Amino acid sequence: MNNTHTSRRTFVQTAVLAGGATMLSTNLASAITSRDDRIKVGLIGCGGRGSGAAAQALAADKGVVIWAMADAFQDRLDSSLANLAQSESKERVQVPVERQFIGVDAIDKVLPLVDVVLLCSTPSFRPAQLAKAVAAGKHIFCEKPVCVDSVGYRSVQESVKFAREKNLSLVSGFCWRSSSPERALVAEIHGGRLGDVVGITATYLTSPLGTRPRQPGWSDFEFQLRNWQHFNWLSGDHLVEQAVHSIDKINWVMGGRHPVKCTAMGSRFCREDKPEFGDIYDNFTVVYEYEHGPRATMIARQQASCYNDNTDWITGTKGYAWINGWAPTHWIKDYTGKTMWAYPKDGPTPNMYQVEHDTLFKSIRDGRSMNEGEFMADSCLMAIMGRMSAYTGRQITWEEAATGLENLTPASLVDPMPVGKVPHPGTTHVGATTS
Ligand SMILES: NC(=O)c1ccc[n+]([C@@H]2O[C@H](COP(=O)([O-])OP(=O)(O)OC[C@H]3O[C@@H](n4cnc5c(N)ncnc54)[C@H](O)[C@@H]3O)[C@@H](O)[C@H]2O)c1
């Protein structure tokens, strides 16, 4: 693996500065560099989601060509490329060895070659990658979460602003926003069907994610990056990495209004005490409080052999709404139990991941840029403030999370990088770098 010794802090700072410096530069928004109809796409992060996103980009537009790929590890890039090379659109997967780049800053080599980037790597790198992509004038698909700490949040906010100034399309990986039943139900709520929303309870109860035991020759950094979901500095913990989908639905239903504060609990009860399980918790409960009265509760768990559930229960002054995206079931009832609205059983349910890419590439073709940056950043900050509260045992305000100095990235990525201590409410402080 190349460039493992890059200081991540330097990487982040450079990228933020690069974003600012190019504010006044030529607007590259519509710079589809090919002379023909092709849209050259670069994939950053060739894991499960990145490979899926590349396939969806290919399906979204007949002119899309996967033109360059980057990953921290050669084996991840190789397996992703091998899969794409067997896909229906394999003739549009054109990534010879000279357009394959390895290393944590391999994005730098991809950006000059492409029109669009798919940012699908480990979340901690996303703020810097987003800043670089915007600075280079590229259209962007940006997976969630987009940041894992306060410093990352503010970097993303800046990038979102610059992307808008440059008319770049920026589509978020908060995929439920592209799901037809969810869209229809939230539109009903925003149209007043529920009256005023007074409370939301959301669950994300699921099994633990896989791990990769340490192999001979791996540095501490490689070991952690191979197990990134389990390290707070890389993933933001599972509340930020996974349950953020449900937190985004809360944010969506609340119309983007910020909670003023939250109180959370969490712990690590079932995860095995092995290094590859990192330093994260396995359960969280967060209560978000809104200035005008409502409360939203998020319950998240990653524990084996338990009841799994991913639903949203939204209470309004006129009734209640139920979202079960896994079922799928979407309805609104009044307080007599009468159904006021339900998504039709035969209603359209196009693949939400595909819809994201259809939307992105259509916006590029039409020259009508779109920018989903605000909710993309704010939903992540909601998750971050929940984690801060659970880790510290303190109530955390939006203001503190948004303006704080928390930067989870270790100052150096060189050995030794011991596995961080599991946070302990009451003694852990906000901003503690856990690795
Ligand atoms: N929207 C969704 O439903 C959904 C589903 C799954 C994952 N995701 C998100 O997608 C992202 C990737 O998840 P995944 O499941 O594909 O994980 P993964 O581990 O399969 O893939 C991540 C890849 O990024 C690579 N990588 C790490 N740092 C990099 C860097 N600086 N530059 C280039 N590559 C780098 C890793 O080596 C790995 O191959 C995460 O943010 C995750 O939360 C979203």
pLDDT tens readout for residues 202-235: 999 999 999 999 999 999 999 999 999 999 999 9
The first and second tokens of residue 400, run together, are 């503190």
Strand 39-44 with 64-71, pairing: parallel
Q: What is the pLDDT of residue 2?
A: 37
pLDDT tens readout for residues 149-158: 999 999 999 9
Q: What is the pLDDT of residue 94?
A: 98
Q: What is the rounded distance in angstroms from the CA atom of residue 272 to the CA atom of residue 156?
A: 34
- Tell me, using a 6 A CB cutoff, whether residue 127 lines ligand 1: no
- Tell me, using a 6 A CB cutoff, whether residue 435 lines ligand 1: no
Average pLDDT score over residue span 327-332: 93
Ligand 1 atom with the shortest distance to the CA of 50: 16
Cβ proximity of 140 and 114 under 8 Å: no
Apex 295 CA angle, 327 and 189, nearest 5 = 55
CATH for the stretch 180-349+381-403: 3.30.360.10
Q: What is the pLDDT of residue 10?
A: 38
pLDDT tens readout for residues 287-300: 999 999 999 999 99
Instruction: State the span(s) of the chain assigned CATH 3.30.360.10.
Output: 180-349+381-403
pLDDT band at 32 (very low <50, low <70, confident <90, very high): low
- Please count the helices (runs of H) and the strands (runs of E) in the chain: 14, 15
Average pLDDT score over residue span 94-112: 98
Q: What is the pLDDT of residue 432?
A: 64
Cβ proximity of 174 and 393 under 8 Å: no
Ligand 1 atom with the shortest distance to the CA of 174: 1
pLDDT tens readout for residues 409-433: 999 999 999 999 999 999 998 876 5
For residue 314, the cross-strand partners are 200, 321
Question: 3-class DSSP state for residue 206?
Answer: strand
Ligand 1 atom with the shortest distance to the CA of 80: 39
Instruction: State the span(s) of the chain assigned CATH 3.40.50.720.
Output: 8-176+355-373
Cβ proximity of 101 and 74 under 8 Å: no
Average pLDDT of the chain to the nearest whole number: 92
Which parts of 88-232 are beta strand (E)?
Answer: 100-102, 116-119, 139-142, 170-172, 197-206
- Tell me, using a 6 A CB cutoff, whether residue 175 lines ligand 1: yes
Res. 6: pLDDT tops 50: no
The first and second tokens of residue 346, run together, are 């035969």
Mutate to test the pocket of ligand 1, among 14, 46, 49 (most ligand atoms within 8 A of CB): 49
Q: What is the pLDDT of residue 33?
A: 47
Ligand 1 atom with the shortest distance to the CA of 48: 16
Average pLDDT score over residue span 342-355: 96
pLDDT tens readout for residues 237-285: 999 999 999 999 999 999 999 999 999 999 999 999 999 999 999 999 9
pLDDT band at 35 (very low <50, low <70, confident <90, very high): low
The alpha carbon of 123 and the centre of ligand 1 are apart by a number of angstroms equal to 7
With CA atoms as reference, report the closest residue to 149 among 375, 383, 376, 373.
Answer: 383
pLDDT band at 29 (very low <50, low <70, confident <90, very high): very low
Q: Whose CA is nearest to atom 37 of ligand 1?
A: 72
For residue 34, the cross-strand partners are none
Cβ proximity of 317 and 334 under 8 Å: no
- Tell me, using a 6 A CB cutoff, whether residue 125 lines ligand 1: yes
Superfamily of domain 8-176+355-373: NAD(P)-binding Rossmann-like Domain (3.40.50.720)
Angle formed by the axes of helices 373-392 and 150-165, nearest 10°:
180
pLDDT tens readout for residues 147-201: 999 999 999 999 999 999 999 999 999 999 999 999 999 999 999 999 999 999 9
The alpha carbon of 430 and the centre of ligand 1 are apart by a number of angstroms equal to 25
